[in-house]
A = this chain, B = another copy of it.
Amino acid sequence: MTGDLLIRSVRPWPGDPAEPVVDVLCRDGLVAATGVGLEVPDGVPAVDGKGGVLLPSFTDAHAHLDSTRLGLPFRPHSAGTGLAELIDNDRRNWRSAEQGVAERATHTLGRTIAGGATHVRSHAQVDVDSGLAKLEGVLAAREAHADRAHVEVVAFPQCGILRERGTAELLDAALRAGADVVGGLDPAGYDRDPVRHLDVVFELAERHQCGVDVHLHDVGSLGAFQVELVCERVAALDMRGRVTISHAFALSTVDSERQRELVDLLAEHDVAVTTVSPGAREPLPLRQLRWAGVRLGLGQDGIRDYWSPYGNGDMLDRAWMLAHRNGFRQDALVEMCVDIATRGGAAVLGRTLGLTEGAPADLVVVPGDTVTAAVMDRAPRTLVVHAGRVVAAEGELV
């Protein structure tokens, strides 16, 4: 459902803060015109941007809506260390949540939209413990917010594919049940057989003609080897532009020459990368990836769940985290983080966002003197627009 809208008094980014504010007209869900003091066409609703900065809306390119506990009573972190223990801890606990997956995912997706994201790629855990229950919850959340955001769902084998019999069949069922993308997880480090793991993933992708998004925490040369394995399959199956590597810690844990090779490889195969800007990990080589033309998005990861207490549904806060963790002080670098969090993530989802005429009217208005100031302030979003319709205002859904 697309809409018509006149947004008054905003300052498009990039732009000179000293320039007068402009109005932006949206028609049929697209940006139609930008100018000072535009007339309101008959029947078109008008809203006030209050002089805020106008950005393309945020994309959360890597969320786990299925596990969120945002808004529920806080539970102390109960997991020990290590991925296997985190997986087991989630299994021990997720069924005891005060609400089901659908209700929790719907709440957090709503907070994410209110924070200015109108494109979201969420993983939904598919495994022999939960079957398709988590996927169904995330699909219900997507349906609940269908008019407010475009949501892609990844059938995500959080517990590996080969370690537990029946997971590959569940992934197949998940893709038939509405998942858009097939996931993978540390084919070597966790699932213990990188070739077979990736062969299952890409076979499913071929069968369902869908994209791939592989979690790759494996570091160093083992992680780098798996980046190569992914790219080999992209080439063999002609899947350029349809594959994402999430986290990709390998890129920041090899020497600079190897890093350059991997970045070039990703660019050559048009394999996208997403980061969640983890606090304690070495940051990805953001500039190198962008210079090479690699599509690079930002995500929230888990949002206050059995895995981690962090995350709040706010992609502007996440952009702040990316900038701060990288030690960026220059406005151009902070703005690069905003670009990763908006257009960058959208490109990972195969969408082109912008503010020019004909671009999708997926927009967010943020209070602040400049984009960098807005990142530092992280104030509630003035307006969030999806497909030409206001979906949130002053930090709350409408």
Give me the interface of A with B, judged by CB distance under 8 Å: 73-74, 76-77, 79, 278-281, 283, 304, 307-310, 312, 321, 323-327, 329-331, 334, 368-370, 372-373, 376-377
Contacts and interface: CB of A to CB of B under 8 A. Distances in A.
Given A280-B327, A310-B324, 14 more contacts: A74-B372, A76-B331, A77-B331, A77-B372, A79-B329, A279-B324, A280-B283, A280-B325, A281-B327, A304-B376, A309-B334, A309-B376, A310-B329, A310-B376
A334 B372 CA distance: 28
Contacts of A369: 73-74
A325 B74 CA distance: 21
A301 to B, nearest CB: 12
Contacts of A368: 74
A127 to B, nearest CB: 22
Interface of A is mostly: loop
Contacts of A79: 329
A376 to B, nearest CB: 5
Contacts of A321: 324
Contacts of A377: 312
A102 B180 CA distance: 58
A274 to B, nearest CB: 18
Given A309-B334, A334-B309, A373 B74 contact: yes
Contacts of A280: 283, 325-327
Nearest to A324: B279
Nearest to A368: B74
A360 B304 CA distance: 34
Nearest to A76: B331
Contacts of A279: 323-327
Contacts of A307: 329
A77 B325 contact: no
A341 B192 CA distance: 42
